[in-house]
Structure 1
Amino acid sequence: MLQQKSAVILVAPRDNEIELAKAKGFKTILFRKSIDFEKAFSVDIPIEVDLNNELLVVEKSIELAKQYDIQAVFTMNEYRIPLCARISEAIGLQKGLSLQAALNCRNKKLTRKILYDSKVDQVKFCLVKSSDESLEVLKHFAFPVIVKPSNESGSRFVKKCNSESEVVQAINEIKNKGTNSIGQPIDPEILIEEYLEGPEFSVESVTINGETTIIAVTEKKVTPPPYSIEIGHTVPYTLSTEDYQRVYQLISKSLEVLGVQNAVTHIEVKKTSSGWHIVEVNARPGGDHIPKLVRIVTGYDLAELALHIALGGTLKDAPKHPVQAPSAAIRFLVADQPGTVLINDTIFAKGHCNLVDAKLNVQPGEIVPQTTSNYNRLGYIIAQGSSDTHASEISEEILKFLELRII
């Protein structure tokens, strides 16, 4: 039996974190900048606080820890992973992710530097603070290159650049933004990386006491340059025995040098002519409904598993659900140009025998901007496969039925 006051702190949850904590019998303490009435009544203790004022959040957490038996601090929100780790360390929890590991994964420049210096993955990169600086360092790169901010997410401001002028424009766009999506100052050091040519995948894994297990490999579909927008994921992707071993060695060593001891992780990788390389490391389950795909195919709910690990659980005693299908896929709807949306939206109401979930964020006839990041896609469909038809084939059939056009 849980103590009466045993609780979990939830920091700006994005998905079903509240429900997961309540299902385990914990009191729920919610930290968020603003909380509406519905959300306030869904938790035991709603606390409105500026999450970017981390010292204040930590102070409130220490006070709460005197009143409640805090068992975990949890979020699926990429931006708030370091804050959760900071709170955990401040109140003496030692079962989850360390603050330094959280920072190493959240900040892309730290990830790249640590992987390079440790010789785990020596992707060529440099850091610049201005477009003028870039003109000098570009002498040591071959085009194309990737320009990205160090502390954004969701492919925002990530650009493939084919010339000096494109690099200058990309850097100036980042600097002019000033803050990232949650109002934190943009890291002044901007990444320029060599472009990794090859198919992209993500590895959904769990690390417990430093030992990493791969749960699933996800095949990714990404838009062509200049933007890097994820338009589809398929689970599972079956690697050859040789590739599996190489990927496992790469991600397990990467997590080790980054300091990840206990976490569910989502690691994006590419297979290039020079081998496998890390694109980025995320110390939380993947977004884009990847956890839904993984649960359909493996029975593991990655968010539920992440909370289980944060509470000190092991993979042996982790919750697991029935496998629903041998494959699952999500396809996102995007606008390839600004214009008016034309779409056959009847399937969103009537459904399809293999359609698991679907959402349309716009209305037929609505005028939309071009999709330039993962944050302004038009919707999605999720399909599951059968014994004789793969989910990727079914999802492409559904996309054809939708007849999406932007005019």
Structure 2
Amino acid sequence: MSETPESIVPELIVEEVERPHLLVVATGMRLFREYILSSIAPQYRIHMFLHAEPSWEKDYIEGWTVLESTLEADALVEAAKKLHAEQPIDGVLCWDEARILQTAHVAEALGLPGGDVAMINRCRDKHLTRTALAEKGVPQPQSILVDTVDEALVTADKLGYPVILKPRALAASLGVVKVNSAEELRENWAFAHDTTVPEAPHYDVNVLVEEFADGYEISIDAAVFHGQVTPFCLARKEIGYPPYAEEVGHFVDAHDPLLVDEQLMQVLVDAHAAIAFTDGVTHTEIMMTADGPKVIEINARIGGDMIPYLGLQATGADPGLAAAAVACGRTPELVPDRTVAGGVRFFYVDENNTVLDGVEWDETDLPATIDKLVLLMAPGQTTSPPPEGTLWGRIAYATAVAPTLDECRAGLDAAEKALRWSGHVVTEPKEPAS
């Protein structure tokens, strides 16, 4: 039977939409950052700038450029312009604190979202953050920049003990310490003043003396598109090794009542407006006090310590795709598809200068809530607990995903018991493993 015109089905011509070309600056440790690349790769063509030949990254990237250093903004800009001329770049992304400012220079040079160096510097420089928030009246601890221990002592007397000593240039609570008296301030001044990392910027005046905000600390990861702030992960932080502020764990609960706390969300929005943050992803740390939320700091990058990963497992909202979208000037799609809880816990040795003789997991009879068991060190490495070890002193971490926070905690308790390590203390200190 011949086909009538009405019965003819026209041939469908489908034009494949090319995936955006995304430049990613550096990667970070595979054990902490691979999940981001694995999310982004199916929907974006990734070109990476690295300081050494890629290894595991090759599973996710389509091209790369090896540079002598990924810390030099001028070199990054030059390489990016060359790549852009050959293969136009749609967005630039970085989640490494030491390189976010340099990445902003690249975005600025190419006229891409996030290309506001001053905006990023208001996050990178903790003193500039405090100044911008104060000008707009955003609730935060009072903070004063000091140059010497004597200035710190005078400032602490004015603020009233206890106070927090905090490096101006660092992140992840490095160099942060609570002091309760002038004597403790003198004893801990060098810790706050001298703690650094190789990539950290240098400031002539580099210590903040801050009012102690009593309460519990949270973090909120958010995607910001054209000034609109969309939170996608709220975590409750667990702190250990007082008076230091080592982050020993985090929990994300899709049912957390803080997600619908209007005062908290308004403070988050007001903080971003105060620092004029318009496009990118942020990791904002907030202390929940009896007087309400107080902003501790705002980082112009996705959170670390597996926090966004926990958010992904707990809610289904993908942090990597959100970060890539806003980097390319696209509206982030953050649609939760589950409501569970996730947690991470980090593990340390007991004594300074411990040489690991053995470290392994005994996976016998672990609950089904265990998600990841990750070793960060191997036998023969030397490490210390905080404050000497800080986050580089961690020997392992575990994550758990469960219907409730209580089940998450129980799973991590079981993981802690399942970690088997042995070691011996050396009398001559060695450099901590990194």
* TM-score normalised per structure 2: 0.82
Match of 2:53 in 1: 35
Structure 1 position 352, deviation (Å): 4.1
| Residue correspondence of structure 1 range 131-146 to structure 2 within 5 A | 131-146=149-164
Match of 2:106 in 1: 87
2:315 maps to 1:298:
yes
SS at match of 1:23: coil
Confirm or deny: 8 A CA contact 2:140 2:295 kept in the other structure. no
Deviates more, 1:67-76 or 1:180-189: 180-189
Match of 2:398 in 1: 381
Q: 1:180 aligns with which of 190, 193, 197?
A: 197
CA distance in 2, matches of 1:342, 1:200: 36
**Deviation string, structure 1 residues 356-378 (Cα, Å, up to 9, x no partner):** 11112245797631232223212
Unaligned ranges ≥5, structure 1: none
SS at match of 1:221: strand
Alignment root-mean-square deviation, CA: 3.1
Confirm or deny: 8 A CA contact 1:29 1:47 kept in the other structure. no
2:74 maps to 1:59:
no
Structure 1 position 398, deviation (Å): 2.9
Structure 1 position 87, deviation (Å): 0.8
**Structure ID, larger Rg:** 2
Confirm or deny: 8 A CA contact 1:74 1:84 kept in the other structure. yes
2:107 maps to 1:70:
no
Structure 1 position 104, deviation (Å): 0.9
Q: 2:184 aligns with which of 166, 172, 180?
A: 166
Opposite residue 328 of structure 1, the aligned amino acid is: G
Q: 2:299 aligns with which of 282, 292, 296?
A: 282
Aligned residues: 400
Identity %: 24
Confirm or deny: 8 A CA contact 1:150 1:191 kept in the other structure. yes
Structure 1 position 12, deviation (Å): 1.4
Match of 1:219 in 2: 236
Q: 1:195 aligns with which of 205, 212, 219?
A: 212
Structure 1 position 150, deviation (Å): 1.0
Match of 1:311 in 2: 328
Opposite residue 354 of structure 1, the aligned amino acid is: T
Match of 1:397 in 2: 414
Change (3 A) 1:45 1:140: same
Match of 1:355 in 2: 370
2:37 maps to 1:7:
no
2:265 maps to 1:268:
no
Change (3 A) 1:319 1:175: closer
Match of 2:346 in 1: 332
Confirm or deny: 8 A CA contact 1:331 1:381 kept in the other structure. yes
Change (3 A) 1:82 1:187: farther
Match of 2:11 in 1: none
CA distance in 2, matches of 1:397, 1:18: 30
Structure 1 position 65, deviation (Å): 2.2
Structure 1 position 166, deviation (Å): 3.2
SS at match of 2:90: strand
Change (3 A) 1:290 1:150: same
Change (3 A) 1:289 1:239: closer
Match of 2:129 in 1: 111
Unaligned ranges ≥5, structure 2: 1-15, 425-434
CA distance in 2, matches of 1:59, 1:340: 44
